[in-house]
Chain A
Amino acid sequence: MTLSRKIAAALDENTRAYNLPCVVTLDDGPDRINLEITSLDSVGVALDALEYVASDRKEWTPEALNAWGEKLSKSVSYLLEPLKVLEVDGGAGLAQLRSASPTVRGDVRGYYEVRLDRQGICRFERYVVDPGGRGRRRTPCHLTREVVERLADDIAAGSS
């Protein structure tokens, strides 16, 4: 069973059972996914973060992280904001992707951020820039269930 199927099954079975907010953890061989759910219904999910851990590789080189990021930026084309690799820090073993163009709604700008680190962890989050411009804060990602399932599969596929 693929990650997406496991996610679908877990969400279907537990739509009403979860005590929100909660973290749903699913394993698929060497892969693990944590969904930090803040809200859930039959159509969509609000996630504080989606974290994927690929434990089949000891250390990710900066080149491997960059390749993973590039694959993600190509395959994850169904979000309203396409992703792009912004920074790769070889020393710290980190790669960062963000929405190519943040979405502006009124005074508020929002964007996705994906961090890949040398331990093979991918963290997907959403941020908004405060209207005053002083700083940014994390906000839940509102995604349909299908998008969450597909996203998990694409992140896993990119890591291989």
Chain B
Amino acid sequence: MRKIDRDANRFKQIVRGKIKSDLRKYITHGELIGKTGGEFVSIPLPQIEIPEFRYGDKNRGGVGQGPGDVGTPIGRSGEGESGPGAGEAPGQHILEVELTMDDLAQILGEELALPRIEPKGRANIIEEKDKYTGIRQAGPESLRHFKRTYKKALKRQIASSQYNPRDPLVIPIREDKLYRSWNPITSPQFNAVVLYLMDVSGSMTDDQKEIVRTEAFWIDTWLKSQYDGVTTRYIIHDAVAREVDEHTFYHTRESGGTRISSAYNLANKIIEESHSPMDWNIYVLHFSDGDNWGEDNRQCIGLLRDQLLPKCNLFGYGQVESPYGSGEFYRELEEAFEAVPNMALSEIRNKEGIYESIKEFLGRGR
């Protein structure tokens, strides 16, 4: 290993340690969400200080300027007055480190002690990939393996005494040329679908939606690290449910009443139509303030027991506290599904509660 690689690895370890120690802050602040770009996430690390020399007062003072007489002492810098106003120079920059989403998921898993997920069902989706693992003597010039071709030509020239070290010219002939070749590799692919359900009735404020957004980001990050392919679908509901895109999911506010069963019905319909439990690992995560109207709670419990829970790897319900407190729905579910292994319940009182809530949802290894 080259020294530069060792240094780079050491730096990476320092960065990982720093992120791990501040993970709770990153999770609760939600600042990483806006910094994701494709496979990378950019993390600000203002705390890493690069060591530098600091000079004492002694021996300070510059070189004199202008004509002087012999013996004139060079002036010392004195205690000057502070200058007026703010400076124009740029301030200290915050160091931003780019991390892959997989690395971030790994850090999350280590810090929260999350067990790896055991995908359920059969992995009946077989993916075929081409990998360049072999060498052939024929192939297109674009795939020519220059290093091996050169070595083979060199060996031939040395063996046939054609190689002159003073004039190290190596000319490959047709027999020397080697080309990369590929082999198809088949691997089973585990797929997962995550259905996010959110109550967007009038009692859900923007702060609560921000909590849901932050939590969904981390759950996504973890699930994507555990499965080959993760499909995400979004459902919003007040008294009526509908499927929407991600942006609408986080930015819609309705003024209708709250009927949670409408969302459960739609989720069940989507699963039945597009995501057979035989082929998919299914996650349903629902967030609400728990203010469900009327007799709908009983209907929700029936739908969960008979339809959704038998199909899901995990059903997670996060009750986000509103300025008006928490509704009764959490307690209803707690009573009805006390010891159901694929049901995770979490009360999220504020942003600080996201950390524990993620642990609650993902700590079951399902």
Chain A interface residues (CB < 8 Å from chain B): 85-92, 94, 96, 98, 101-102, 109, 111, 127, 129-130, 133-136
Contacts and interface: CB of A to CB of B under 8 A. Distances in A.
20 contacts: A86-B202, A87-B238, A87-B257, A87-B258, A88-B256, A88-B257, A89-B239, A89-B259, A90-B256, A91-B259, A94-B293, A98-B324, A102-B324, A129-B324, A133-B321, A133-B325, A133-B349, A134-B347, A135-B325, A136-B324
Interface in B209-244: 238-239
A15 to B, nearest CB: 34
Given A85-B202, A86-B255, A87-B258, 17 more contacts: A85-B255, A86-B203, A87-B255, A89-B239, A89-B257, A89-B293, A90-B256, A91-B257, A92-B259, A92-B293, A94-B293, A109-B323, A129-B325, A133-B321, A134-B331, A135-B331, A136-B325
A89 B256 CA distance: 5
A92 B240 CA distance: 12
B75 interface: no
B118 interface: no
Contacts of B349: 133
Interface of B: 201-203, 238-239, 255-259, 293-294, 321, 323-326, 328, 331, 347, 349
Contacts of B323: 101-102, 109, 111
A94 B347 CA distance: 27
B201 to A, nearest CB: 5
Interface residues of B, dominant DSSP: loop
A89 B260 CA distance: 13
A119 B129 CA distance: 65
A92 B325 contact: no
Nearest to B295: A92
Contacts of A136: 324-326
B256 A130 contact: no
A127 B257 CA distance: 19
Contact of B239 (A85, A90, A127): A90
Contact of B325 (A85, A90, A130): A130
A96 to B, nearest CB: 7
Contacts of A88: 255-257
A87 B238 CA distance: 9
Which of A86, A87, A94, A111 has the most CB atoms of chain B within a 10 A radius of its CB? A87
A101 B207 CA distance: 14
Contacts of A135: 325-326, 328, 331
Contacts of A92: 239, 257, 259, 293-294
A67 to B, nearest CB: 13
Contacts of B294: 92
Contacts of B325: 109, 127, 129-130, 133, 135-136
A140 B360 CA distance: 37
A101 B323 CA distance: 8
**5 A-B pairs closest in CB distance:** A89-B257, A129-B325, A86-B202, A136-B325, A87-B202
Contacts of B238: 87, 89
Contacts of A109: 323-325
Which of A109, A111, A127, A129 has the most CB atoms of chain B within a 10 A radius of its CB? A129
